[in-house]
Amino acid sequence: GESVGLHLPTLSVQEGDNSIINCAYSNSASDYFIWYKQESGKGPQFIIDIRSNMDKRQGQRVTVLLNKTVKHLSLQIAATQPGDSAVYFCAEGNDYKLSFGAGTTVTVRA
Amino acid sequence: DAGITQSPRHKVTETGTPVTLRCHQTENHRYMYWYRQDPGHGLRLIHYSYGVKDTDKGEVSDGYSVSRSKTEDFLLTLESATSSQTSVYFCAIRDSKEKLFFGSGTQLSVL
């Protein structure tokens, strides 16, 4: 069936460096994509979203890139901070439902 | 948590017993969702609701039922809990811009 997945289950990054988290999706009919951050013991928190008619969208310290040709989504975090340590999920949306990938655990090294 | 309250936060129960989890929102949003989260599986949709008394199944709905008698409340019921239903359950609401906002979760252990 259709699925959303992340390329790597874990990512270790030096504090101050930029982070790139990747996600591949397979449902070409998806028209909405979203990134969530989940800290231990908490529910997922919205980071940034993008619609299928866009290639790039920027937020505060974060940028989402969408490549529909290869069905690839990425989240870039600038100047990674210790508070960025968390599990990051990508999700694809269609018909009022979101499907989530398994997540990437990001660890920030001091 | 964006006006979403889940109760209880933790629950331990025995196999075969009924369990009901509650999700309450103060945002008056139409769409509400129940997800479960398990290691290696991310978040999987159980059921969702698009209005009072209007619900539909998600990808892992077997063994679960839901009810929505009021806009603000969405209940998830395990009629006869099994050990495979040990999980963390998240409720979510969908705002007018299609963003999902999640509650803090309910940790359910079925022994």
Nearest to B42 among A32, A43, A103 (CB): A103
Q: How close A9 gets to chain B, by Cα (Å)? A: 9
Compute CA B90 distance to the chain's CA centroid, rounded to the nearest angstrom. Answer: 5
Cβ atoms B111, B83 nearer than 8 A: yes
CA distance B57 to B43: 15
- Tens-digit pLDDT profile for residues B19-70: 999 999 998 999 999 999 998 778 999 999 999 999 999 999 999 999 999 9
Inter-residue contact B28 to B52 (CB < 8 Å): no
Low-confidence ranges of chain A (pLDDT < 50): 1-3
Rounded to 5 degrees, what angle do the CA atoms A91, A93, A99 make? 50
In angstroms, the separation between the Cα of residue B24 and the nearest Cα of chain A is 15
* Residues in A touching B98 (Cβ below 8 Å): 32, 49, 93, 96
Q: Which chain B residues touch A21 with a CB distance below 8 Å?
A: none
Confidence of residue B1 (pLDDT cuts 50, 70, 90): low
